[in-house]
């Protein structure tokens, strides 16, 4: 476990661009999964928990 931590620290120090792209893709994935539900919930008629459960 200690070796993995050291390896991650070295990678983060020398590969700042790779870490940036990993974080960028992670935020993009979160936006793609949560965004449509959030937008549809704003325009839905009567907001309750049943509507958000019906979305895929």
In a domain? residue 56: yes
d(CA 44, CA 56): 15
Residue 25, pLDDT score: 95
Supply the range of the domain harboring residue 32: 17-56
Radius of gyration of the chain (CA): 19
Q: What total number of domains does the chain contain? A: 1
In a domain? residue 53: yes
3-state secondary structure 1-56: CHHHHHHHHHHHHHCHHHHHHHHHHHHHHHHHHHHHHHHHHHHCCCCCHHHHHHCC
This model's pTM is above 0.95: no
In a domain? residue 6: no
Please give the C-alpha separations between residue 16 and each of 4, 48, 51, in angstroms, as whole numbers: 18, 43, 42
pLDDT tens-digit readout, 2-41: 899 999 888 888 887 888 888 999 999 999 989 888 888 7
């Amino acid at each position: 476990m200690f070796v993995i931590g050291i390896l991650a620290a070295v990678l983060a120090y020398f590969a700042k661009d790779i870490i940036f792209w990993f974080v960028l893709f992670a935020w993009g994935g979160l936006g793609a999964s949560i965004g449509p539900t959030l937008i549809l919930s704003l325009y839905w008629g009567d907001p309750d928990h049943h509507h958000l459960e019906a979305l895929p």
